Amino acid sequence: MKIQKLLKILTFATSAIALTTTSLWIGKQAYSWLPPQAAAESRLVDDLISFLVTLGAFIFLGVTGTLMYSVIFHRAKKGEIADGPPIEGNITLEVVWTAIPIMLVLWIAGYSYQIYEQMGIQGPNEHVHFHMPMGMESAYAAPKDAPVDTTTEPVEKIDVLAKQWAWVFHYPEKNVTSSELHLPANKRVRLALQSEDVLHGLYVPAFRLKQDIVPNQTIDFEFTPIRLGKYQLTDSQYSGTYFATMQADVVVESPEDYQQWLTKAATRKPSPAKNQAVSEYAQADGWTTVAPAAPPLVNYPG
């Protein structure tokens, strides 16, 4: 009996170790399922997703493994038709399997809220001028080889105007307007977000950032881009008929290239930017919809 009990304990311990190791491995794979980490803050979100995937894998494999074990080793023998043992219940077991899910839910909620606070995502709140909480330390979220500027004051301030259906970016430093968002790498950026008409949402998947843009409000939103390249900005809120056309390129470049781009764009004469919504509206026939705003005048159309 003692040997059987010892074997059961060893089997349970081995299974628990294998389950934990496998779940942790699956959680690590979750990083490769996501777009590249193009902003320092993206590490926070990816860590949360990896945690949720690890926990989900542990529960799924644990429950599935227990069911398979029961089916293989505890099924009725061939031809056996007797009733099973009359189990009345187990108060201790019921308390345990109720308490564990409650603790897991509280753990997930607490961790998720902590990430939410660190990201500094702002919601619509009337008569409040928003800003990124000072508790957000982007350097902690950045890869070790990324020389992120940890100063609290943003290096670059950019005005962002969202309207049906176009993004307009204005750089006060050189008085440049563009339909393409250019950002200096490894420097903190502050976007002053405004809407000309309805509710919009700034969403860059590679940055893991989404911020509502509320009419008649100016919302300051800060982050730190860290990876060179071109990314996609979309409107996360349905804003009308040509909502799908409201996209823009986001170009993250070195500070030197960024300054060169600003200087070059400042020499160009403003002209109407190409706007897909306006083009499609001009070709529409037989149905009525909201007319798109006129194409913005920009120094750099992208």
Query: Is residue 138 within 8 Å of residue 148, measured between CB atoms?
Result: yes
Q: Are residues 164 and 282 in the same domain?
A: yes
161 lies in a domain? yes
CATH number of the domain at 226, please: 2.60.40.420
Determine the longest span between alpha carbons in the chain, in angstroms.
Answer: 90
How does pLDDT run across 251-296, given as a tens digit for each residue? Answer: 999 999 999 888 888 888 888 878 887 777 777 765 677 788 878 7
Domain of 171, in residue numbers: 156-298
Q: Are residues 163 and 271 in the same domain?
A: yes
pLDDT, residue 200, reads: 92
Share of the chain above pLDDT 90, in %: 26
- Give pairs for 260-266: CB < 8 Å, separation 24+: 261/182, 261/300, 262/171, 262/173, 262/174, 262/176, 262/182, 263/174, 265/174, 265/176, 265/178, 265/299, 265/300, 266/174, 266/175, 266/176, 266/299
- Model confidence band, residue 297 (pLDDT cutoffs 50, 70, 90): confident
Domain stops at, among 38, 70, 102: 70
CB atoms closer than 10 angstroms to residue 181 = 24
Domain stops at, among 50, 70, 90: 70
Domain stops at, among 25, 44, 70: 70
Give me the sheet containing 181-184, strands edge to edge. 181-184, 247-253, 229-235, 200-204, 209-213
Q: Are residues 49 and 172 in the same domain?
A: no
124 lies in a domain? no
38 lies in a domain? yes
92 lies in a domain? no
239 lies in a domain? yes
Is pTM, for the whole model, over 0.95? no
Q: Are residues 64 and 193 in the same domain?
A: no
Q: Are residues 160 and 66 in the same domain?
A: no
Share of the chain above pLDDT 70, in %: 86
How does pLDDT run across 10-50, given as a tens digit for each residue? Answer: 877 888 888 889 999 999 999 889 888 898 888 888 999 99
81 lies in a domain? no
pLDDT, residue 11, reads: 77
Residue 220, exposed/middle/buried by CB under 10 A (0-12, 13-18, 19+)?
A: middle
- Model confidence band, residue 225 (pLDDT cutoffs 50, 70, 90): very high
Q: What's the structural domain count of the chain?
A: 2
